[in-house]
Amino acid sequence: MSHSVQIKNALISVYYKDNLEPIIHELNRLGVKIYSTGGTETFIRDLGVDVIAVEDLTSYPSILGGRVKTLHPKVFGGILARRSFDSDEQQLIEYQIPEIDLVIVDLYPFEETVNSGAGQEDIIEKIDFGGISLIRAAAKNFKDVVIVASKNDYSELEEILKLQGGSTTIDQRRKFAQKAFNISSNYDTHIFQYFDQAEPMPVFKQSIQTSQVLRYGENPHQKGTFYGNLDAMFTKLNGKELSYNNLVDVDAAVALIDEFTEPTVAILKHTNACGIASRSFIKEAWIDALSCDPVSAFGGVIIANDEINAETAAEIDKIFYEVLIAPAYTDEALQILQAKKNRIVLIRQRVELPLKQFKTLLNGVIEQDKDLVVEGPAQMNTVTNKQPTTLELRDLFFANKVVKHTKSNTIVFAKNNQLMASGVGQTSRVDSLKQAIIKAHSFGFDLNGAVMASDAFFPFPDCVEIAADAGITAVLQPGGSIKDQDSINMCNQKGIAMVTTGVRHFKH
């Protein structure tokens, strides 16, 4: 398996011809015989290089509007023949089939055509059959054949041709085959996903071609990689590369901020909001978001849904943060924010985000729809004698948006479109409540007149009793407990309002 192969014959048929010209000239210089089809054949001929039409090799024309061109034993026999098998070599001689040592073939742009919004007929015509068959055949026979299936590999092939005089090693051919199977499997996955939209099959298939190696994973001893195109979503204006933990927090920050339309700033630590406020102006939103928990804000991820101006930047610059995200910054703001080189400053670009979530679990993968539901005043059903006021309904809506994006079990306090405190990730709901009360008091918040949201129902009346005694005047919960009436009765006893939404928002 260590032998070198000298390229004598090449088959070239590509959709993208960018940077192909230098390879054609190098193959011509090496005396390689070139076979080609259609537009690629014309392209090569226009370069003044001799080329043999595949139709002349097969003695069969391109038919069915070009759907069938290379699917012929004289093509695939030359690719799949095992040079070390005497029987294969004898058959090549018998049927006058040339050995093909190099295949340069790419695929019709199926994924790009789907993304363009083209109609079904155009999409179906972009399902490549001949190209994918040539790629698989050449990659399978990598012991004897070089397969180049992407224009991204042209420069590597050109360098090999020049440095090695048209000869390739087994390691080089195996590497090209690995890349080729990656391309073919990715192509097939996207075709399957297109056909799987109407009535999805119970199978899991994902294929992402772009990736970024991270400094490390969740901890320094763990390796980490991000699969996707971060550059499409963010423009980095300052700072180091995003870490694994940064990305997890940024994902949570984006999901949370997208719930709000008015000028809003959120500060997150370990995917939970430690501060968030909505105001008429972004500077006021920042000041009030920070006041929720200025201790936890240290080293956090900050996200805003409005432009950051110089005044706001000057306030933000007073604390240490890991990442700042906004849709825009003024030039004066950037001068302030870019003065500290390690702080990551990002402009968020609007891109379509996935509607599904998945992660590895045990010996498989679990997948679910994203939680894209949030209940507003219209979905709030009052179950107590006291009706919530208009201001309480507004604050309950605010609190419900936050509680949806906070780790369970969670309790959220809010007033005047500001997070006052939250109890996060506790094993009992009453512990989350007590944690939230302690935090609110520690930062000087008066809970009288505040509202409370819970991500799930109250199994006992103790939570609403404690909350009412702390000053809470309205409560939101999904309902659904067999003891709902106990909590409702406690609210009536304490003279506070309760609404149910019918929708639970667990977040693990």
Active site residues: 140, 270
Quote the tokens at residue 26: 């190098």
Residue 40's Cβ-count burial label (10 Å; 0-12, 13-18, 19+) is buried
Report residue 351 CA to chain centroid gap: 10
Helix (H) or strand (E) holding 396: helix 390-404
Q: Which residue has the tokens 């997948």?
A: 367
Residue 184, amino acid: S
Query: Cα separation of 478 and 485, whole Å?
Result: 13
Q: Which residue has the tokens 């990656």?
A: 182
Neighbours of 451 (CB within 10 A): 31
Quote the tokens at residue 104: 């340069």
Q: Which residue has the tokens 């695929």?
A: 107
Quote the tokens at residue 340: 């500290």
Neighbours of 104 (CB within 10 A): 27
Alpha-helical runs (H) found in 5-129: 21-29, 38-46, 54-58, 73-80, 86-94, 110-115, 120-125
Alpha-helical runs (H) found in 258-341: 282-292, 310-316, 331-337
Q: Which residue has the tokens 């011809």?
A: 17
Quote the tokens at residue 33: 């015989």
| Cα separation of the two ends of the chain | 50
Pairing mode, strands 264-269 and 272-278: antiparallel
**Could you tell me if 423 and 433 are in contact, meaning their C-beta atoms sit under 8 angstroms apart?**
yes
For residue 102, which of 212, 17, 14 has the smallest C-alpha distance? 14
Sign of CA dihedral 441, 443, 448, 450: negative
The answer for residues whose C-beta is within 8 angstroms of residue 474's C-beta and 6 or more apart is: 388, 389, 392, 393, 395, 396, 451, 452, 496, 497, 498, 499
**Could you tell me if 12 and 49 are in contact, meaning their C-beta atoms sit under 8 angstroms apart?**
no
Quote the tokens at residue 422: 């939250």
Query: Cα separation of 443 and 448, whole Å?
Result: 15
Query: Cα separation of 264 and 228, whole Å?
Result: 27
What does the DSSP 8-state code read for residue 228? Answer: S
